[in-house]
Amino acid sequence: MIIELLKSRRSVRNYTEEKVPQTIIESILEAGRLSPSGGNEQPWKFGVITDREIISQIAEYSYNQNWIKTASFLVVLCTSNVEKSRGARNIQKVRFPKYADIIDEMEEDVYIRLNAEEHQTKIPGSHMILAALEYGIGTNWISYFDVDKVSELLNLPERCIASEIITFGYPADENQQKLKRDFDDVIFLNKFIYPYK
Ligand SMILES: Cc1cc2nc3c(=O)[nH]c(=O)nc-3n(C[C@H](O)[C@H](O)[C@H](O)COP(=O)(O)O)c2cc1C
């Protein structure tokens, strides 16, 4: 059951030296490939990083999160940006009509970077994490990194930027699961009940 897998999930920041077999890597990637996306645009590329030097460099560009170097492999989830002329900004303009003019006028470079969230790479990432759990493979997300440096390192095209990184490997320790907020604290039924905590 997916719910049981989710109950066992925790962020892993220390991995054994055992390598994840290629067939399992492919199965994890397949879980990401099957993700939903707005308009089925699938605006992403998934970079599989196994090269130890590149992994070390990514750890450095992640503000020296050295634990990343213990991972068997990384997946860099990259956002492929659609051109403005193809209506790329329409989604944000309809979601925030009050700011449509500002959205329209934003420089392309800035817009692409700030709007990376809208490109939904957290969905294939979450699929991959779930698939990994089934094989007993631990993971962690990394958002705390210099996007432009990692994008350049991976030789990404101009319209494609690294939006998230996920580390994969066999857990080296038995970390406890983090406390999660109570059910009643995160769920509301129909209309919000105040006070807002
Ligand atoms: C989008 C996202 C980005 C994250 N970035 C980092 C990161 O850069 N470095 C890190 O050590 N953990 C990172 N984490 C892991 C969180 O710290 C972790 O999910 C949180 O503390 C809850 O713990 P749990 O995943 O074990 O439930 C990130 C998590 C998410 C969802």
Q: Whose CA is nearest to atom 30 of ligand 1?
A: 141
The pTM of the full predicted model, rounded to 2 decimals, is 0.95
SS3 24: helix
CA 174 – CA 151 distance, rounded (Å): 33
The type of residue at 6 is L
| Extended beta strands in the chain, E state | 44-49, 73-80, 138-142, 160-169
Q: Whose CA is nearest to atom 25 of ligand 1?
A: 11
So where are the chain's domains? 2-186
Half-sphere exposure in the Cβ direction for 78 (13 Å, CA): 24
- Answer yes or no: is pLDDT of 14 > 90: yes
Based on the number of CB atoms within 10 Å of its own CB, is 171 exposed (0-12), middle (13-18) or buried (19 or more)? middle
191 lines ligand 1 (CB under 6 A): no
pLDDT confidence tier of residue 103, bands split at 50, 70 and 90: very high
> In angstroms, what is the span from residue 26 Cα to ligand 1's centroid?
24
Q: How far apart are the first and last CA of the chain?
A: 32
Q: What is the pLDDT of residue 38?
A: 86
Question: CB 100: neighbour CB atoms within 10 A?
Answer: 15
State pLDDT tens for residues 59-98.
999 999 999 999 999 999 999 888 888 888 888 999 999 9
The secondary structure of residue 136, as a DSSP letter, is T
- Answer yes or no: is pLDDT of 126 > 90: yes
From 12, 154, 143, 150, select the one nearest 72 (Cα to Cα).
12
> In angstroms, what is the span from residue 32 Cα to ligand 1's centroid?
19
User: Mean pLDDT of all residues in the chain?
Assistant: 94
What architecture (CATH level 2) is domain 2-186? 3-Layer(aba) Sandwich (3.40)
State pLDDT tens for residues 107-116.
988 988 888 7
Longest dimension (CA), the chain: 52
Q: What is the pLDDT of residue 27?
A: 98
67 lines ligand 1 (CB under 6 A): no
Q: What is the pLDDT of residue 75?
A: 98
> In angstroms, what is the span from residue 155 Cα to ligand 1's centroid?
26
Q: Cβ(132)–Cβ(10) under 8 Å?
A: no
Q: Which of 6, 62, 142, 145 to mutate to test the pocket of ligand 1 (most atoms within 8 A of CB)?
A: 142
Between CA 42 and CA 2, with CA 75 as vertex, the angle to 5 degrees is 75
Q: Cβ(118)–Cβ(89) under 8 Å?
A: no
11 lines ligand 1 (CB under 6 A): yes
141 lines ligand 1 (CB under 6 A): yes
Q: What is the pLDDT of residue 87?
A: 83
> In angstroms, what is the span from residue 98 Cα to ligand 1's centroid?
33
From 99, 100, 120, select the one nearest 163 (Cα to Cα).
120
Structure-token pair, residue 91: 């989604």
- Answer yes or no: is pLDDT of 191 > 90: yes
